[in-house]
Amino acid sequence: MADRKRVVILGGGFGGLYAAKALKHAPVDVTVIDRRNYHLFQPLLYQVATGSLSPGEIAAPIRSVLNKQKNTNVLLGEVIDIDPAAKSVKLKDGAVIPYDWLIVATGSQGTYFGHDEWHTWAPGLKSVEDATMIRHKILLAFEAAERTTDPDERCAWLTFVIVGAGATGVELAGALGEIANHTLKNDFRSIQPKDARILVVDGGNRVLSTYPEDLSRRAEHALIKLGARVRLGAVVTAVDENGVTLNTSTGTTHIPSHTVIWAAGVAVTDFGRLLAKRTGAETDKAGHIKVTSDLTIPNYPEIFVVGDLATCIDRNGKPLPGVAQVAMQGGAHAAKVITRRARGDSRPLAPFHYFNKGDLAVIGRARAVANIFGVHLSGLIAWFVWLFVHLLYIVEFQSRLLVAIEWGFLYFTFNRGARLITGKAANKPVGKPEPLEDLGD
Amino acid sequence: MADRKRVVILGGGFGGLYAAKALKHAPVDVTVIDRRNYHLFQPLLYQVATGSLSPGEIAAPIRSVLNKQKNTNVLLGEVIDIDPAAKSVKLKDGAVIPYDWLIVATGSQGTYFGHDEWHTWAPGLKSVEDATMIRHKILLAFEAAERTTDPDERCAWLTFVIVGAGATGVELAGALGEIANHTLKNDFRSIQPKDARILVVDGGNRVLSTYPEDLSRRAEHALIKLGARVRLGAVVTAVDENGVTLNTSTGTTHIPSHTVIWAAGVAVTDFGRLLAKRTGAETDKAGHIKVTSDLTIPNYPEIFVVGDLATCIDRNGKPLPGVAQVAMQGGAHAAKVITRRARGDSRPLAPFHYFNKGDLAVIGRARAVANIFGVHLSGLIAWFVWLFVHLLYIVEFQSRLLVAIEWGFLYFTFNRGARLITGKAANKPVGKPEPLEDLGD
């Protein structure tokens, strides 16, 4: 078997993992490289940030997901360079890994549109570390509000600003509304958690702008019912320890808040930029690599780019969104092309076509909006659809029903089990806004 | 109600929380102060360290445990000083909290018997941060063993040394044995996780030295069956990045290992020492405060010390062990004394008497040793007793059966859900021993 071709997959997210799984029976040796030892179910990260779930409940070790695949090897390491001429990638520890086919699925990271300094006061939500950090920030804000006697300070501690009204922003706001109205209801003596002000800010003209318009409207209604406020057409021009400054059509406003969460803007990873440079690949403004219809880089038929890093024009001429479904289908497509070529079949495969099964966003405890195969749903029924879809996925990866049971339980009790403040945050005095420690790097 | 007496409780562990709960109907205002926002079920911390449970599953927010108690207030803060004459404690943020009665339940912390530098290479297991750090160390050791091609290095990575054969050490070794033999079985390609050497080292002459002798023997047998080795009469004389040095009756041995875990030795907290100094209280060698039979400090009838910080001589003349049961019963006793005095009843209460319900230690997946009301059990039956006892407790505090369900599931699948490497550890190159970052302070 020494002459088997080598497939290297960079990234164990949705794209990379689906590619690896689809290569299970292909006559190739597969190596999955990730700097994390786990696959993260990112769409539920906001539940970790708001204390409903523990990180372990939305993550699965990549090794255990793939441990039955005899042709697949998992490598914990960070890729820092690629040599497309020599067909090899280089790891941070110096190791050089050669490939015959490469699938790049390194995903995206947050961006502050040139204002990286805002990160300190407005963390984004991309990793487990981000999520636990935001959880600390939220819980400590209520603690600080309880402690302070200054009414203005109390108001600033009880004001939560979420920048970005996409799925992450809307779901975060909904979960925060539940926390304020139900979870913490009896926990404090000087404050009423339901007095918290939750503000969702976006530069666009509606929430969930990629969804059909009627669902945007319904989502906004659901947020308002939970006590959140939505401010559209508002552009953030400054963020610091005392709050955010917004530019709207009616002028400039400053909103005093010690808890700002950034749910706007994604950019490609540093490795993505490097890949574009090394291969001379064309990118769009945000750095996404323009791929051919079989998801390879022009002139490099052995380098596939799938998921958030790629920009792919669908049949209707629009670029595909950066969602899990696109990454999963892209990974599977790349695997199919590779399998065919590895078997010596040179016939070209039909171009990649994304099949959109629908969009789903949850708002609060048991309310959602959904667009399933073109059918628009909202309220409890949409939430059940959402639950079902996500459970199918989680069961596949984690082989356990735990998350379902936990949610069922949360649903009935309003209790949130994972309300821990750990790490450095736990050792700081309450009542002073704190800049973020960079837990990642 | 302005003239109600104030009870201040320092620490939300077993002692502090049981005291607070027992004061529910007392005519006093209670303030519980802890620097953590959660109560931790410490006896299960080793399950977090070995990836079976997430931190959120063995912790409950102190506020939510006490939120139905209208006379009780929870304060997130670190106590740094006490003025016994003025009857007040001082927090790190400068706040001064007056008390009429004070219950000190600040517990214990790890100690390296004068070799604090060993901490870097042999972390202890007292906090959630410790537990996740140890989890990272264990998982990364297997990753490094998979990567290295040097057989000596591989052996050092696959050698796990646990210092201390008390309950924590034995339970950790058992869980590690399960991981090596079952959980990771198919996860690697270059190594066989079952080749891991697990070594439990202790200076005494048997494991679980506070248990009856026959149970010590049975526990040792169970460990050996799981592939762990026990080395008794061995004193650690050095720990560094390359392993531990042991002094035994037959001479000195060096054991190459990159994963040493410290499960020996506890000392009182810094605040405990300060309290002794400020009150002139007598302490034993390890710093435990000698209390009267009603658990107060001599000459300070308003200051109670409960749990690990106190040393209390039982009827039979032996000091009580530093276990959860003693702390819980001590906290409840202090509350009873306070309730009686607050009601103006000056009759003295019967002296504190510890009622030992039994001892329990789990070894591996479904094996335990138990001494319940003097009946010695081992094997699966002891494990069921253990499960039952712990579930009762957890249900009381967390109002959820989740942990039970999770364990049931683990029992059938050998799967461990919480095998995540997060934080700074996730961004370091694999294959180099790394000193520990201090996540606490």
Q: Are A420 and B128 in contact (CB under 8 A)?
A: yes
Give the model's confidence band at A418: pLDDT under 50 very low, under 70 low, under 90 confident, else very high: low
In a domain? residue B398: no
Q: What tokens appear for B367 in the block?
A: 């094996």
How close does chain B come to A180, measured CA to CA in Å? Answer: 14
Across chain B, mean pLDDT equals 86
Return the CATH number at A215.
Answer: 3.50.50.100
In a domain? residue A437: no
- How confident is the model over A8-17, as a mean pLDDT? 95
How close does chain A come to B130, measured CA to CA in Å? Answer: 10
Is any Cβ of chain A less than 8 angstroms from the Cβ of B431?
yes
Same structural domain, B134 and B232: yes
One-letter amino acid at B204 equals G
- How confident is the model over B188-196, as a mean pLDDT? 92
Q: What tokens appear for B226 in the block?
A: 């799981």
Q: What is the pLDDT of residue A428?
A: 55
Q: Are B337 and B346 in contact (CB under 8 A)?
A: no
Q: Is the pLDDT of residue B429 over 60?
A: no
Determine whether the interchain pair A68/B186 forms a contact, defined as Cβ–Cβ distance below 8 Å. Answer: yes
For residue A403, the chain B residues in CB contact (below 8 A) are: none
In a domain? residue B120: yes
Distance between first and last Cα of chain B: 39
What range defines the domain where residue B224 resides?
116-264+414-427
Give the model's confidence band at B412: pLDDT under 50 very low, under 70 low, under 90 confident, else very high: very low
- Spacing of C-alpha A297 from chain mean position: 25
Q: What is the pLDDT of residue A228?
A: 94
- Domain-ending residue, one of A302, A324, A342: A342
Q: What is the pLDDT of residue A237?
A: 96
Query: In the β-sheet with A358-362, what is the strand arrangement from edge to edge?
Result: A358-362, A368-372, A375-379
In a domain? residue A10: yes
Is any Cβ of chain B less than 8 angstroms from the Cβ of A439?
yes
Find residue B38's DSSP bridge partners.
B61
Q: What is the pLDDT of residue A420?
A: 64
CA-CA-CA-CA dihedral for B234, B235, B237, B241, to nearest 10: 60
> For chain A, give me the number of helices (H) and strands (E)?
11, 25
Is any Cβ of chain B less than 8 angstroms from the Cβ of A68?
yes
Q: Is the pLDDT of residue A268 over 90?
A: no
Q: Is the pLDDT of residue B338 over 80?
A: yes
Instruction: Encode pLDDT of A222-236 as tens digits.
Output: 999 999 999 999 999
Same structural domain, A29 and A87: yes
Chosen for mutation from B92, B427, B438 (greatest number of chain A CBs closer than 10 Å) is B427
For residue B139, the chain A residues in CB contact (below 8 A) are: 37
Q: Is the pLDDT of residue A434 over 70?
A: no
In a domain? residue A386: no
Q: How far apart are CA A27 and CA A71, in angstroms?
A: 8
Find residue A33's DSSP bridge partners.
A10, A75
Q: What is the pLDDT of residue A314?
A: 75
In a domain? residue B51: yes
Same structural domain, B222 and B128: yes
For residue A424, the chain B residues in CB contact (below 8 A) are: 439, 441
Determine whether the interchain pair B419/A143 forms a contact, defined as Cβ–Cβ distance below 8 Å. Answer: no
- Domain-ending residue, one of B342, B367, B383: B342
Same structural domain, A246 and A133: yes
Same structural domain, A79 and A55: yes
Q: Which residues of A91-103 are buried (b: 16+ CB within 10 A; e: fewer)?
A: beeebebebbbbb
Q: What is the pLDDT of residue B403?
A: 45
Same structural domain, B154 and B257: yes
Chosen for mutation from A41, A48, A76 (greatest number of chain B CBs closer than 10 Å) is A76
Same structural domain, B176 and B190: yes
In a domain? residue B23: yes
Determine whether the interchain pair B128/A422 forms a contact, defined as Cβ–Cβ distance below 8 Å. Answer: yes
Q: What is the pLDDT of residue B398?
A: 53
Chosen for mutation from A135, A420, A427, A436 (greatest number of chain B CBs closer than 10 Å) is A420
The neighbour count for residue A250, using CB atoms within 10 Å, is 8
For residue B440, the chain A residues in CB contact (below 8 A) are: 426-427
- How confident is the model over B286-303, as a mean pLDDT? 94
- How confident is the model over A106-132, as a mean pLDDT? 90
Q: What is the pLDDT of residue B124?
A: 92
Is any Cβ of chain A less than 8 angstroms from the Cβ of B408?
no
Give the model's confidence band at A60: pLDDT under 50 very low, under 70 low, under 90 confident, else very high: confident
Q: How far apart are CA B324 and CA A411, in angstroms?
A: 32
Q: What is the pLDDT of residue A438?
A: 36
Determine whether the interchain pair A423/B129 forms a contact, defined as Cβ–Cβ distance below 8 Å. Answer: yes
Q: Are B38 and A420 in contact (CB under 8 A)?
A: yes
Is any Cβ of chain A less than 8 angstroms from the Cβ of B188?
yes
Is any Cβ of chain B less than 8 angstroms from the Cβ of A425?
no
Among A110-124, A373-387, B34-48, B387-401, name the one with the lowest average pLDDT.
B387-401
Give the model's confidence band at B419: pLDDT under 50 very low, under 70 low, under 90 confident, else very high: low
Higher pLDDT, A407 or A364: A364
For residue A421, the chain B residues in CB contact (below 8 A) are: 36-38, 76
Determine whether the interchain pair B38/A402 forms a contact, defined as Cβ–Cβ distance below 8 Å. Answer: no
Same structural domain, B245 and B122: yes
Same structural domain, B130 and B255: yes
User: Number of folded domains in chain B?
Assistant: 2
Same structural domain, A193 and A69: no
Note the pTM of the prediction, 2 decimals: 0.83
Same structural domain, A126 and A260: yes
Give the model's confidence band at B59: pLDDT under 50 very low, under 70 low, under 90 confident, else very high: confident
Closest alpha carbon within chain A to B432 = A93
Q: Which residues of B are catalytic?
A: 171
Q: What is the pLDDT of residue B405?
A: 43
From the list A60, A129, A187, the residue facing B423 with the nearest CB is A129
- Domain-ending residue, one of B285, B314, B342: B342
Determine whether the interchain pair B55/A59 forms a contact, defined as Cβ–Cβ distance below 8 Å. Answer: no
Q: What is the pLDDT of residue B423?
A: 59
Q: Which residues of B130-169 are buried (b: 16+ CB within 10 A; e: fewer)?
A: bbbbbbbbbbbbbbbbbbbeeeebbbbbbbbbbbbbbbbb
Is any Cβ of chain B less than 8 angstroms from the Cβ of A380?
no
Q: What is the pLDDT of residue A320?
A: 85
Find residue B383's DSSP bridge partners.
none
Determine whether the interchain pair A57/B399 forms a contact, defined as Cβ–Cβ distance below 8 Å. Answer: no
From the list A37, A93, A440, the residue facing B429 with the nearest CB is A93
Chosen for mutation from A129, A137, A430, A441 (greatest number of chain B CBs closer than 10 Å) is A430
Find residue A372's DSSP bridge partners.
A358, A375
Is any Cβ of chain B less than 8 angstroms from the Cβ of A308?
no
- How confident is the model over B215-241, as a mean pLDDT? 94
Higher pLDDT, A208 or B432: A208
Instruction: Encode pLDDT of A154-188 as tens digits.
Output: 999 999 999 999 999 999 999 999 889 888 888 89
How close does chain A come to B78, measured CA to CA in Å? Answer: 8
Determine whether the interchain pair B423/A423 forms a contact, defined as Cβ–Cβ distance below 8 Å. Answer: yes
Q: Are A306 and A331 in contact (CB under 8 A)?
A: yes
Is any Cβ of chain B less than 8 angstroms from the Cβ of A209?
no
Closest alpha carbon within chain A to B136 = A37
Among A313-327, A417-431, B122-136, B330-344, name the one with the lowest average pLDDT.
A417-431
Q: How far apart are CA A372 and CA B145, in angstroms?
A: 47
Q: What is the pLDDT of residue A310?
A: 93
Return the CATH number at B329.
Answer: 3.50.50.60
Instruction: Encode pLDDT of B92-105 as tens digits.
Output: 989 999 999 999 99
Helices B324-342/B14-22 angle, 10° precision: 30
For residue A60, the chain B residues in CB contact (below 8 A) are: 417
| ipTM value greater than 0.90 | no
Is any Cβ of chain B less than 8 angstroms from the Cβ of A54?
yes
Is any Cβ of chain A less than 8 angstroms from the Cβ of B391?
no
Within 214-243 of B, beta carbons closer than 8 Å to A belong to none
Q: Which residues of B329-349 are buried (b: 16+ CB within 10 A; e: fewer)?
A: bbbbbbbbbbbebbeeeeeee
Q: Are A59 and A128 in contact (CB under 8 A)?
A: yes
Q: Are B248 and B233 in contact (CB under 8 A)?
A: yes
Give the model's confidence band at B16: pLDDT under 50 very low, under 70 low, under 90 confident, else very high: very high
Q: Are A91 and A80 in contact (CB under 8 A)?
A: yes
In a domain? residue B377: no
CA-CA-CA-CA dihedral for A264, A266, A267, A269, to nearest 10: 130
Q: What is the pLDDT of residue B394?
A: 61
Is any Cβ of chain B less than 8 angstroms from the Cβ of A408?
no
Is any Cβ of chain B less than 8 angstroms from the Cβ of A77?
yes
How close does chain B come to A340, measured CA to CA in Å? Answer: 26
Q: What is the pLDDT of residue A397?
A: 59
Q: Is the pLDDT of residue A439 over 50?
A: no
Higher pLDDT, B301 or A65: B301
Q: What tokens appear for A417 in the block?
A: 């089990």
Give the model's confidence band at B414: pLDDT under 50 very low, under 70 low, under 90 confident, else very high: very low
Q: Which residues of A are catalytic?
A: 171
Same structural domain, B72 and B24: yes
Across chain A, mean pLDDT equals 86
User: 3-class SS at B68?
Assistant: coil
User: 3-class SS at B262?
Assistant: strand
Is any Cβ of chain A less than 8 angstroms from the Cβ of B422?
yes
